[in-house]
Structure 1
Amino acid sequence: MQIRPEAAGFVPSRLQHLDRFLQSRYLETGRLPCALTLIQRRGEIAHLSALGQRDIERQQKVTEDTLFRIYSMTKPITSVAFMMLVEDGLVALDEPVHKYIPQWRDLGVYDGGFIGTFKTHRPQRPMLIVDLLRHTSGLTYGFQQRTNVDAAYRRLRLDDYTSGAVTLDGMIDTLATLPLEFSPGTVWNYSVATDVLGYLVGKISGQPFEQFLRSRILDPLGMKDTDFSVPPDKQSRLAACYAATPEGGMRLQDDPQRSPFLKTPHFVSGGGGLISTLGDYLRFCRMLIGGGTLDGVRILSPKTLELMTSNHLPDGKELPDLSVSLFSETAYAGVGFGLGFSVTLNPARSLLPGSIGDYSWGGMASTYFWVDPHEDMIVIFMTQLMPSTTYPLRRELRTAVYSAFA
């Protein structure tokens, strides 16, 4: 890739500060294994740097073609897949979810009790398709660790998609036996909702979810290295994943030579199951910033993307007004939520540089991307450290990138 910072409207010396900052604060101190950063603006690659090692134990440097667990950066891809079905006229955003999952027709809202003794009341309205896309469904994640419903998810391992403990179909059936945390549309809570979208893509399209992604998005966009598992001929490129320690260091969390991602998954997770590369995810983002088109291939209409990147929280509220989540992949103030992305509504309230309408999301292993249509800019950051809340990397990245504008 040709690097042209001046043509993209950046000061080269200020972009170099980003690498020095990451190197001195995170890599030399043993806080991060690697940092792969790309900035594209006005169609030009302004910055591309590969720092550190993708596998510390085997002393392998990170490279542009390194394979990363992108975890929740899978969600925007799944959301795009679902909106393709909306464009096909096969489903609508205001339809009840139980139209497609009949066993969910009588889901109640948690009143009290524990697994096996839950008490519920009727929701104010049924869960709608749009609730799944914007995380207002009443579903949750077990790792939220906030309520007895969260505890039931953990006990039943509903969001444990790497161990083979549950399948996607099994999760759907089990959720029919559990209460919602709140009446749909009243609260924002990060959840397994995007996994449910993946299930619905398969059910509505009539083909397995992973096949739909391959035929309708991944192959047309040339995302040749993105999949739910790593084939044998690519295993040498898979990064190791690390977990932060209380002392400020790292420990190996997932050895690339023994990773569950080397096998075809039992649970195909639209919420967090994809492996990808920097180059592949750039192609997905280029399609987004291109109004749904890349290299002559149309994935979505620009009006559909405009809808997806608008704030869909009820009454135009920001996340702090509605969120009960203890964990999310975004800061809250000045931020709303669209159909698969967080959306900046007010940079001043977020206390971060950016633009009204820029949209983003990240993954559990500290990966992150954002698209700023106003500045015609894409930024992608890849590393492998869990959890993503360990360091304020996303805030620091935004500050450094916008500070480098000419």
Structure 2
Amino acid sequence: TPGSLLQLTSPEPQRAGTAFWPTPFSSQGLVAEFTTTIAGAATGADGMTLLLADPARGATPTSVGDAGGGLGATGIAGVAIGLVTFPTQYVGIADNSQTSSSMNWLATNGSIPTLRNATRRGRVTVANGTMTVAIDGTIALIRAVTLPPTVLLGFTAGTGGYFDQHAVSAVSITTGGSAATGILSMTPSTIAFGTVTTGTTASQPVTITNAGNAALAFSSFTLPGTPFSVTGLPAAGTSLAAGATVVATITYAPTAATSAAAAFTVTTNVGVATTSLTGTGKAAPAVSTVTPTSINFGSVTRGAVATRTVTVANTGGSPLTITSVGAVAAPYSLSGAPAANTVLQAGQSVTFTVRFSPTVKGIKRATIVIKTSAGRTNVALTGTGT
């Protein structure tokens, strides 16, 4: 009855349950929609399937597969779309044989909404040998499959040492049509940029594909905020032909040493696809910039004093430690030099004075050695006493 649940397993251990439509029908142009309810306390198990069973290989409307990880489907020949909750959760497409006692997964995806203690809307479409599985309107899997021309459609579930109640409702099945429809796919579903230095960028492509046999229309794009950006997108309201692709670029440009997470979502007339984004900003290293690196005092009269200044700046993005500023011998001297282990934050600087006070005639040379956590810099000094 409308709104009622079709229970496949009760919340008891080692149970398997199935429910099939009594007569087979064509697999061409199949569209199946259904609502799942998987509920239980503590750790539940094991999951359920939408099973497209093959009557030519022995499947019947009363077939029951294995409990536990068999999800009530193993041992029944056909293609199963599994919603698995133990030991981890994922959606998968499996090609089962009549004799196998384990699921032969062709493809799986764990980046889906929580299945337990929640209701989820599933949609499975088959067009031109391609199966598309969506959960709550978001494409989870697209996989080429080989289906018999005639299938028995049913739902199965299994429990093991842990258990849940598995049920379906609001089932809608259409088949036999031309299946002229667009099928939205976006890959990858997750982009992890890793650690990126602030002030630099990292980019990754994302491919939007129409895997169907009719055009789809872009309704809108939900863009991630800073520090992520997306370029290369078509305009909303435009179409993507059957079999065509669009490659956009997602860029991560961190400005702070923090973690960031966001999502990029494409909405079309045939569904929604999302790519999750993560990245961590890393502060740029400290950079020691000393100016000038040579000073020529020229000619200075004996007994007079000439002065110049030297600046040490941190032009990087992390703290800079000035380990030491080496002393110089007469006739040179330093005034206001930073103490050992002085720390300059990004953008900070310190300036000190160099004096040349000759007492004899002739050229005098010296070197100021400045050591920092970013390296060593020498400042060459030259002056002539007259």
TM-score bucket (shorter structure): under 0.3
What TM-score do you get using the length of structure 1 for normalisation?
0.20
Q: Which has the higher helix share?
A: 1
Structure number with the higher strand fraction is: 2
Query: Which of structures 1 and 2 has the larger relative contact order (alpha carbons within 8 angstroms, sep 6+)?
Result: 1
